[in-house]
Amino acid sequence: MTFTPDFPASLWSFQSMATALVPRIVRRVTSTGSTFFDLTTRLRSKDFVAGAIFFCYNDYRTHVGDRGVGALKQRVHGVVDLCGAQKASYEVLRRESSPVESLTAENHLNAFQLRLKTRHDVPMYTLRGYKLRGIFYGEGDIPVERQEVELPEIASGGETTVDLTFSQSGVPLHVKFDVLRPTGYSAYSGNWKP
């Protein structure tokens, strides 16, 4: 089973910030109404691209805003709103900015074999000190068990397989898996359902 994002691929059209990246490529991409996925795919295909910067993380207040009134007049094109609440586009940016390309799961009752594959393009770097966490959700969508396993060092474009077993006897309603950075923040998430 391959995890798929919980949002439509066409969710985020990216007209407003695109020219900050690679103007030659971006003008062609955004003039056709392409999505963030299309743009990152094109950027990743260029051997001269070593990275990308996203602007703008949050909506911000401005006297020339296109939404809101008075003190709440704002530019609305961030991945979080003025109060820091995440928009659906936040998850798109998080996934595309992750060094993890994919996470697949094979399930045998409450034992999982997970295969993690890292990117061979932007952003690519060796994963060191990363962990894989699984949270088992039971009846009522209540988290009842958490397991973590250390990941071996994984070079860019590499992959590894790890086993994660839960002690619960019942079948999970779902299991949320997170690839955790050494800081403890999630770099990639997937939700397994029976």
- Side by side, which strands form the sheet with 186-192? 142-150, 131-138, 174-180, 186-192
**Extents of the domains making up the chain:** 9-96, 100-192
pLDDT tens string 4-63: 444 333 333 333 334 333 444 433 333 344 577 777 888 888 888 887 777 777 777 776
Least confident range of 22-31, 81-90, 105-114, 123-132: 22-31
Give the class (CATH, top level) of 100-192.
mainly beta
pLDDT tens string 68-95: 787 777 777 788 887 889 888 888 888 8
